[in-house]
Structure 1
Amino acid sequence: MATVALRSSEGKWIMGSAILASAMAFIDGTALNVILPSLQQSLNASGADLFWILNAYLLMLAALILIGGSLGDQLGRKKVFMIGIFIFIAGSCACGIAGSVTLLILFRIIQGVGGALMIPGSLSLISASIDVKERGKAIGTWSAITTMVTIGGPILGGALGDAGLWRYIFFINIPIGLIALLILGFKVKESRDEDKNRSIDYGGVVTIALGLAMLTFGFLRVPAMGWANWQVYMTITLGVLFLATFIMIEAKSKHPMMPLQLFSNLTFSGANLLTLFLYAGLGAGMLFLSLNLVQVQGYDQLQSGLTFLPFTILMVSVSRFAGALSDKYGPRFLLIGGPATAGLGFLLLSLVKQTNGPHEYWTTFFPCVVVLAIGMSFTVAPLTTAVMGSVSDHFSGTASGVNNAISRIANVFANAIFGALAVLLFSGALQKELKQMPLKEKDKQAVMASAVNLGNAKVPKGIDDSHKSMVIKAYHESFISTYAMILRIAACLGFLAALMAFVFIRNSAVKKAG
């Protein structure tokens, strides 16, 4: 189809609709992190419930985002994009009125279905519609603004959580989605790949969804049941088998949702490995930093959200510039330096111990957040450019879907694996703390029983008043120890992402944008 200039009227409408719709999905991927304490209290949710509320949404994104991209190529990018927005609005409205944990998890699944159709649709619409000479800048603009709202999600969530209005995190999607639908309906032309076969890879959809769900369930059961429990090893084994079956189906299918031949391009493979490692680290790092600030460091939820404001400002300031640099010089060196710098940011964050509250933010967390933000700012746009530029144009939607699926899979596994690991680390650290405390054995057992709630653990009833402060300190010290270990693992994942770029990504494999 004919392309348009980025600054043309049609180009601006395309960018506006893509950014608005994507923003909804990305906000809901991060906004709940900060307000988990409010949600936990309002719905009487356990620690495991919280991880499922996060993962129900991410699971559907990871499982269906692949088919979302290919459906757009086959049936029309604008059409599938609009269907996704409508489903997402409906799911958001339902989440806002959910009266129980079970209902909220169910409605988050509906949101994830809508998001799976929206997110790849936005990028493939941009890639297919904007002139190739300006495509890097367009993707950089999209990356900057959507990442801004992703990181801005905790700020919004914190403000609403402190006001007792956490449900409005979902309701706010309704007007945004309606505006995007109106723009698409009246101002944006349809775009599709006319040569694409319209068969749908149902086998791939089912096996990847079951595989991810089984693995997530298994890892989240580890803290409560232990590795030797049949629920754990059976579900993890089934998850691995389903994912292996998914790969076999994709290899044999005439019209796979994830064409394996795309991975014959080492740059495409390297970019997706980079995505897997970096976004797993980012997901774990942001989640546990938010929990640390609210539950241990004494920040309220808005203050916790505002700690990410430097991240937001740098993303807006730098991402478009990084996209232009990627167009001019190629993405390789940016994709080596960016993740390595982000890894350094995680490492510095892991060194921050107990502080005296928000007034010490500027000398403790702030420098570390700035380093992390610089690393991510120089990564996001070049990474997207590398993914989209390493495949032929008619695979643009599918490539976008694969890369976004990888980032959601990374977040799913980060929540499941790091969630389970955190409980185990927290329990181990707490046991060491309790050995030094003059408590009765039954009181120690009661203290340990609260470990599944991590930093939100409460002093059990019956503990003598003279010992309560000691128990609270033990909880805090144990969580900080756990947080430090998780952030160091996140740092290693950032460095590993940089290594993937160094080994696999080549500028010569990425289509030149000018």
Structure 2
Amino acid sequence: MAAPHASSRYPWLVLSVTSLGVILTLLNVGTLNVALPVIAKHFHATATTANWILLTYMLFNTVFILIFGRLADMLGRRRLYIVGLTLFTLVSLLIGISPNIWVLLGLRALQAAGGALVITNTTPLLTDAFPERTLAKGLGINVLVSSAAQLVGPVIGGLFAATLGWRWVFWFNVPFGIIGIVWAAFTLRSLPSKGSNERFDLAGNILIFIALSGAILALSEGSTLGWTSPLVLIGALAFIVLTPVFLRVEWTSKSPLLDLRLFAKRRYAMAYVAAFLNAFARTAVVLLLSLYYQTVNHADAFTAGLAILPVTVGMLVAAPLSGSLTGRYDARLLSSLGLGLSGVGLVILIFLIGPHSAYLPAAIGMFLVGAGSALFLTPNTSSIMTTIARERRGIANGVRSMLQNMGQVVSTALSLMIVTSGLAPRLQASIYAGNAANLTDRDLQLIDNGFRLALLAMLLATCIGICASLVRGKKEAM
């Protein structure tokens, strides 16, 4: 079915608008992965607080993505996209003048809301603008732009953190955000909303936020406070109790936040599961290795940013290939192959990285992780979006984006928990101290073992993702 307003130029103009938004939001993630030790040192943050510099954005972004997926269908994508980009830009400016860590964490939550509005509306805007015959190419370029943003993100974050200071990691967003807002206002066309009379699912929003917050709290603080700590137990209990309540509420709601009927067909359910597991594995690799090179190899932030470039170089190389192959081969084959490549890369990293090992094998492993992820993303996204009715694309993409973000936030919390769980408090803090950590050979061995174990967990998730992708079944309209 041809998309509305699908003139020869309009789809590409929309792609130029969404590309600016994608670049800004993904640069934000990449820069922080590398600059985290510098920010933690500036605010004298503990290991627990340093965790939440990353987790606050990821947690709120994940929950907001699902909320805004519904609101986009109700209120219109153009309007919410521009609001999101404006909020993201303004808060980026304010974060740079944060007087303390608590203000920074609060602003990160607001920044997450802006980022969620941008990401939630990106894929539906492209799907509405592109005719189906060229949609895969548009989505492939979107992944390519995402890869480019992730390519330069760690380098920019490391460069600014090591030279101009951590504030410029955020202030860098501002001029590009202003350009993106103006360009979006002049370019994007409004489409009539078909869900404007639907109710907002307040109960679902509250339940998913508390349940997910509880899970992240338990995972992130378990190794630091102890698994029997009241705070950890309360978080775990909130997740265990409220998750089935949330699912029950959503199943009976007439206008659910999470439309569980999207999971009724195996192809969609397995595509969503695979999206979660792909994000789960790839996110941890970038974060873990950026911290590994700063802590174990005593690299500065800029050098660590350069060291992890092969992940995003792999995405940059494979994304155009993925876009061209998506229209010719079934998503089940391409997505599974992509996850398989990532799995091979993880095996290489698990066995061949070390404090004194050569860099080339690790670079090859990182390249394969990135290339496999890019090969996975376009066909998996296309298989979800092309057979969904236009009026449901916002919520369908919201579910996909939410699961990908959930994979990122759970991956971050779980991987850091695995790395630090077997370490004394002194060594737990050293993970966030970067090259300033004073470590003995015994300390390095313990930390190295923790990183390997975390990568092994990512490999297990990738293998499960391959199985989910393979059993999705043939394409069918919904």
TM tier, smaller: over 0.9
Deviation at 1:48, TM superposition (A): 1.2
What's 2:397 paired with?
400
What's 1:441 paired with?
none
Deviations 1:140-174 (A, max 9, x none): 11111113212431111111111142211211211
What's 2:21 paired with?
21
Q: Residues 114-513 of structure 1: matches in 2 within 5 Å?
A: 114-356=114-356, 360-361=358-359, 363-425=360-422, 427=423, 448-456=424-432, 472-504=440-472, 506-509=473-476
- From 1, 4, 17, the equivalent of 1:2 is 4
Contact 1:330/1:510 (<8 A) preserved: no
Contact 2:216/2:410 (<8 A) preserved: yes
Contact 1:66/1:405 (<8 A) preserved: yes
Contact 1:455/1:475 (<8 A) preserved: no
Return the letter of the residue paired with 1:103: V
Return the letter of the residue paired with 2:73: D
Deviation at 1:373, TM superposition (A): 2.3
Q: What percent identity do the matched residue pairs reach?
A: 22
Deviations 1:363-392 (A, max 9, x none): 332111222122112112112112213422
TM superposition outliers: structure 1 runs of 4+ over 6 Å? 457-460
Contact 1:92/1:174 (<8 A) preserved: yes
Deviation at 1:112, TM superposition (A): 0.7
Number of residue-to-residue matches in the alignment: 476
Contact 1:340/1:498 (<8 A) preserved: yes
Deviations 1:22-57 (A, max 9, x none): 221122122211112211111111111121110111
What secondary structure, in the 3-state scheme, does the structure 2 residue paired with 1:194 have? coil
Return the letter of the residue paired with 1:508: K
> Which runs of 5 or more structure 1 residues have no equivalent in the other structure?
428-447, 461-467
Return the letter of the residue paired with 2:22: S
Contact 1:341/1:371 (<8 A) preserved: yes
Contact 1:450/1:457 (<8 A) preserved: no
CA distance in 2, matches of 1:454, 1:489: 22
> Which runs of 5 or more structure 2 residues have no equivalent in the other structure?
none
Superposition RMSD in Å: 2.2
Q: Given the superposition, is the C-alpha separation of residues 152 and 265 from structure 1 closer, same or farther in structure 2, using an over 3 Å criterion?
A: farther
CA distance in 2, matches of 1:252, 1:454: 48
Deviations 1:484-503 (A, max 9, x none): 11111111111111111011
Contact 1:61/1:116 (<8 A) preserved: yes
Return the letter of the residue paired with 1:364: P
Deviation at 1:313, TM superposition (A): 3.3
Deviation at 1:63, TM superposition (A): 0.7
CA distance in 1, matches of 2:45, 2:434: 14
CA distance in 1, matches of 2:235, 2:431: 28
What secondary structure, in the 3-state scheme, does the structure 2 residue paired with 1:223 have? helix
Return the letter of the residue paired with 2:230: W
CA distance in 1, matches of 2:440, 2:435: 7
Contact 1:280/1:413 (<8 A) preserved: yes
Bigger drift between 323-332 and 259-268 goes to: 323-332
Contact 2:289/2:308 (<8 A) preserved: no
Give the TM-score normalised by the residue count of structure 1.
0.88
Give the TM-score normalised by the residue count of structure 2.
0.94
Q: Residues 71-150 of structure 1: matches in 2 within 5 Å?
A: 71-150=71-150
Q: Tell me which structure has the larger Cα radius of gyration.
A: 1
Return the letter of the residue paired with 1:88: F
Q: Given the superposition, is the C-alpha separation of residues 323 and 412 from structure 1 closer, same or farther in structure 2, using an over 3 Å criterion?
A: same
CA distance in 1, matches of 2:343, 2:477: 25
Return the letter of the residue paired with 1:61: N
Deviations 1:437-465 (A, max 9, x none): xxxxxxxxxxx3302214356999xxxxx
